[in-house]
A = this chain, B = another copy of it.
Amino acid sequence: MSDAPPRSIGAVGTIRQALVEQIGQGLLPPNGKLPAERRLSELFDTTRITLREALSQLEAEGLIYREERRGWFVSPARVRYNPLARTHFHAMVEAQGRSPATEVVHARLVPASGEVCALLALPALSKVIQIRRVRRIDGRQVLYVEHNLNPAYFPGLLELDLTRSLTELYAGQYGIRYGRVRFEITPIALAADAALALRAAAGSPALQITRVNRDQFDRIIDCDLEYWRHDAIQVSVEVPEQSE
């Protein structure tokens, strides 16, 4: 019902509200670290289990996040992301007044997984260029991506600087621009490898975005498997033109 029953909210609720209020007042700045769990549990006169329950709720709400074995931090504002737009990560992040960065985990030619073969419409056991990268916003690891490129269209790509935008490399080196896009969004939990790269706990809530990209000739050129920390992103889709 709309009017909440006047019920006691319990210790977890009390802690939650106190932290929400402190964060809302700006006393804990974005990306700032919370005090140690033991200190907080003393402060609220409760056990660590109960305290962690409250922290987990705030994590689910996206107000705070955790870095594995490093502690709890205040989540900064979400970044808006339009998977249909043809801008790249750095441009998108900078347009929102934030500071992007990219690291290459690895880049190599590998046999594609069955899933990737299907997405790229390639025969079984095809080879693809696989690039795994971690993207940061304001220093925080926020996105783990695996790009899978059809190698037929990108000879010599592995020799280039892959911390740069792929969009720019495509256009500058190969004369390829993005055309149609298809994407899927699924709420999931982070697998071990993605979690490690994002300094998150395995099983943390995340948003998986799978994109299949075509070029100006409508050829499937690559697919991206993206894993976003769930509190870092807001997907926003505006279809520019649409015939009735």
A interface, CB within 8 angstroms of B = 1-2, 4, 49, 57, 60-62, 78, 83-84, 177, 179-189, 192-193, 196, 203-205, 207, 216, 230-231, 233-239, 241-244
Contact = CB atoms under 8 A, between A and B. Distances in A.
Contact of A243 (B186, B189, B205, B241): B241
Contact of A184 (B181, B192, B196, B234): B234
Given A49-B49, A234-B184, A57 B203 contact: yes
* CB-based closest 10 A-B pairs: A185-B235, A187-B230, A61-B189, A60-B189, A57-B203, A184-B236, A186-B234, A182-B238, A180-B242, A183-B237
A166 B103 CA distance: 47
A230 to B, nearest CB: 4
Q: Within the oligomer, what is the number of copies of this chain?
A: 2
Nearest to A13: B202
A182 B237 contact: yes
A148 B239 CA distance: 21
B1 A187 contact: no
A2 B187 contact: no
Contact of A185 (B181, B185, B231, B241): B185
Contact of A242 (B179, B186, B204, B234): B179
Nearest to A240: B242
Contacts of A192: 4
Given A83-B237, A192-B4, A237-B83, A187 B187 contact: yes
Given A239-B181, A243-B241, A60 B186 contact: no
A226 to B, nearest CB: 13
5 contacts: A83-B237, A180-B242, A184-B234, A186-B233, A186-B234
Given A179-B244, A242-B180, A186 B216 contact: no
A235 to B, nearest CB: 4
Contact of A1 (B182, B193, B231, B237): B193
A185 B234 contact: yes
A60 B204 contact: yes
B203 A60 contact: yes
Nearest to A182: B238
